[in-house]
Amino acid sequence: MRSVVFVVALFLAAGCAFGADIDGKWTGKYDTGMGGEPMNMEYTFKAEGTTLKGTTIGGANGEQIPIKDGKIDGNKISFSVSVDFGGMDMSFAYTGELSGDTLKLKFSMGEMPGGEFTVNRAK
C-alpha cells in the first residue's frame, strides 16, 4: 500500500514540474483606454517542457507572429513578440499566470508600461 501511495505522489509531483496545461488557442479583448473598440487578442500556445512556443495575431493584416523567448515555470509564463509597425520594430514583453481556462497577461513595451488583460481558452 505504501508503494502505491508513493507512486501516486511521484506522478503528482511530476505533473507540477511540467507546468500548467497551456496548449491550445486563447482569445480575449484588450481595452486600450483610448476609446474605440477593444482590440481582439488571440494566441496559440504549445508547451515543450519548460519552453513555450506559439503565435499571436498582429499587424495591419492580422498575420501570425511567432512568440519568442517563451518560458514556463509552473503556472507562470513569459514570452516576447516583435511587431513591425510601418518599418518600426516594436518589441512587447509578456508575463502571465494561468488558472484553469483563464490566463491573465501583463505586457510592456521596452521601458514603457503596457497594460493587463485576460484571455480564455477557446472552446
pLDDT tens sequence across 22-49 = 999 999 999 888 888 888 899 999 999 9
pLDDT at 5 over 90: no
59-90 residue pLDDT tens: 667 789 999 999 999 999 999 999 887 888 88
| Extents of the domains making up the chain | 2-121
| Mean pLDDT, residues 5-27 | 58
Does CATH number 2.40.128 belong to domain 2-121?
yes
Helices and strands per DSSP (H, E), number in the chain: 1, 9
**pTM given for the model:** 0.79
Q: Which three cell numbers stand for residue 23?
A: 496548449
